[in-house]
A and B are shown apart, each in its own frame.
Chain A
Amino acid sequence: MALIDIFNNLANPTRFLALTNRVLPWLTALTVIVLVYGLYRVAYAPDDYQQGATVKIMFLHVPAAWLAMMGWGLMAVAAFGTLVWRHPLADVAARAAAPIGAAFTFICLVTGSLWGRPMWGTYWVWDARLTSVLVLFLLYLGMLALYWTAEDPNRSARAAAILALVGAINIPIIKFSVDWWNTLHQPASVIRMGGSAIDPSILVPLLIMALAFTLLFLLLLLLNMRNEILRRRVRSMRMMQAASI
């Protein structure tokens, strides 16, 4: 019950802004500390015996991939909030999460192909994982396109929510079908990560980086939500001004 009360309290944007004002300095400090510590650990992590120094790309790549998926999950939860409870901040959260999720997906793709160049000898292969991340990126772009074309945020809110839920149902299906497609077409050329367990000397920095990326995601999300609220206020003030002339 307490959790629901908190969510209901946050329905008031002013209260939300006041809360974020108090939280943001601490969150920023925490993010910087964890990120710096994580990068320090990454810098001193041993090279992989096969991959050499390129393994360090993984410390950015893997957390970005996790957050790319978490971003859509967050949007789906927010979409549920928009459609079921009509929570005013749910759409703000979904809209704020879309570009950040797209950015993390992009980072995941770019770091992946930078790693692929020395390891696989090419920037891009139609590997199952790369392909499903690519489709996820396309879905993010579709979501952004939907937001860009709708002038009235209230109108786009529920349309975007429906798209987010449909996408959330489809993402596992896409993942499954891309795996199937890949094993059918080129079973031999798939180079798999892992196989052996990851050594703690790599795993611990990786987890720290994952935590840092998650904090960074939350920080960016809160900042972007604040901007979105202010943007909507500016919009309604402009419309009121235009109506009064």
Chain B
Amino acid sequence: MNALLALLLRDMRLATRVGGGALMGALFYFVVVSMIPFAIGPDLNLLARIGPAVLWIGALLASLLALDRLFASDHDDGSLDLLTMSTLPLELTVAAKAIAHWLTTALPLIVITPVLGLMLNVDMSAMGFVALSLVAGTPALTFIGLIGAALSVTLRRGGLLMAILVLPLTVPVLIFGVAAANAAIVGPAPFGPPFTILCALSLASFVLGPFAAAAALRQGQE
């Protein structure tokens, strides 16, 4: 447990220091969401209607792009080999890394969401629910993306391949995330059901993701 905590803190420290790029995800999110009004026009009513969807797409792309970093730098300097050979179960190691990744990339993104919501004319009273849907849903994105990150690092190919592999798998998260956010803003459907399913997706991918990612990393060692 101590070792896992040390690993978690190490990853967080690495991410927050110079060159770590922890805030890059949030910055990318900010830029992407700011670009949308330029494409669809400054109509505030339209922006309010599609606001939650825009925020979710932005969060999806930001967490996807940040995933490249999850194993790549460890792989380059060789520490990934040490982690794989350690006595810790690789599944737990990978899960700890994913949690650190979520804390350093997804959490800043959620923190700035209310500001972006303001710019998109999303109803402020509902903004809390949109942020809540992101809190519940982004772990699923991280843990599904974890599989893609592990696969692409073992294949020595990142970037586009990972996006192609991961994006179709995130369809359910996107559907229920936007549904929960919309339910809070527009109604009439209740917020509860999509939100609980979103939590379930996160929990399920928390179980599935580390096992698949660890299996992928192990085969890369052979």
* B175 CB-CB contact with A under 8 Å: yes
The listed residue (A141, A158, A159, A167) touching B169 by CB distance below 8 A is: A167
Name the A residues within 8 Å of B176 (CB-CB): 177, 180
* A22 CB-CB contact with B under 8 Å: no
- Are B155 and A173 closer than 8 Å at their CB atoms? no
* B167 CB-CB contact with A under 8 Å: yes
Name the A residues within 8 Å of B172 (CB-CB): 170, 173-174, 176-177
The listed residue (B151, B168, B175, B204) touching A159 by CB distance below 8 A is: B151
* B47 CB-CB contact with A under 8 Å: no
- Are A173 and B165 closer than 8 Å at their CB atoms? no
* A27 CB-CB contact with B under 8 Å: no
A141 to B157 CA separation, bound complex (whole angstroms): 16
**A residues 80-96 with Cβ under 8 Å of B?**
83
On B, residues with C-beta under 8 Å from A are 147, 151, 154-155, 157, 161, 164-165, 167-169, 171-172, 175-176, 179, 189, 197, 201, 204, 208, 212, 215-216, 219-220
A149 to B155 CA separation, bound complex (whole angstroms): 8
- Are A180 and B168 closer than 8 Å at their CB atoms? no
Query: Between A and B, how many residue pairs show CB distances below 8 Å?
Result: 78
- Are A163 and B171 closer than 8 Å at their CB atoms? no
Name the B residues within 8 Å of A141 (CB-CB): 164
- Shortest B119–chain A CB gap in Å is 25
Name the A residues within 8 Å of B164 (CB-CB): 141-142, 145
The listed residue (B165, B201, B204) touching A145 by CB distance below 8 A is: B165
- Shortest A170–chain B CB gap in Å is 5
- Are B175 and A181 closer than 8 Å at their CB atoms? yes
- Are B161 and A180 closer than 8 Å at their CB atoms? no
* A223 CB-CB contact with B under 8 Å: no
Given A162-B216, A166-B169, A173-B201, residue A146 in contact with residue B151 (CB < 8 A): yes
A180 to B147 CA separation, bound complex (whole angstroms): 26
CB closest chain-A residue, reference B213: A162
Name the B residues within 8 Å of A146 (CB-CB): 151, 155, 161, 165
CB closest chain-A residue, reference B173: A177
Name the A residues within 8 Å of B151 (CB-CB): 146, 159, 162-163
Name the A residues within 8 Å of B169 (CB-CB): 139, 166-167, 170, 174
- Are B171 and A159 closer than 8 Å at their CB atoms? no
A selection of 15 A-B contacts at a CB cut-off of 8 Å is A83-B215, A135-B168, A142-B165, A145-B164, A145-B165, A146-B151, A146-B155, A155-B154, A158-B219, A162-B219, A166-B147, A173-B172, A177-B197, A178-B175, A181-B179
What mask results when residues 188 to 215 of chain A are scored 1 for a CB within 8 Å of chain B, else 0? 0000000000000000000000000000
* A169 CB-CB contact with B under 8 Å: yes
Beyond the given pairs A142-B168, A159-B154, A159-B219, 20 more chain A to chain B contacts, judged by CB atoms under 8 angstroms and listed by A's residue number, are A83-B215, A135-B168, A135-B171, A138-B167, A138-B168, A142-B164, A145-B164, A146-B155, A149-B157, A155-B155, A155-B219, A162-B147, A163-B151, A167-B169, A170-B169, A170-B172, A174-B171, A177-B197, A178-B171, A181-B175
- Shortest A136–chain B CB gap in Å is 8
- Shortest B197–chain A CB gap in Å is 8
Name the A residues within 8 Å of B189 (CB-CB): 184
A76 to B168 CA separation, bound complex (whole angstroms): 17
- Shortest B177–chain A CB gap in Å is 11
Name the B residues within 8 Å of A155 (CB-CB): 154-155, 219-220
Name the B residues within 8 Å of A57 (CB-CB): none
- Shortest A125–chain B CB gap in Å is 17
The listed residue (A156, A167, A177) touching B175 by CB distance below 8 A is: A177
- Shortest A190–chain B CB gap in Å is 16
A158 to B164 CA separation, bound complex (whole angstroms): 18
CB closest chain-B residue, reference A149: B157
CB closest chain-A residue, reference B200: A173
- Are A166 and B212 closer than 8 Å at their CB atoms? yes
Given A174-B172, A181-B179, residue A149 in contact with residue B161 (CB < 8 A): yes
* A36 CB-CB contact with B under 8 Å: no
**A residues 122-153 with Cβ under 8 Å of B?**
135, 138-139, 141-142, 145-146, 149-150
Name the B residues within 8 Å of A10 (CB-CB): none
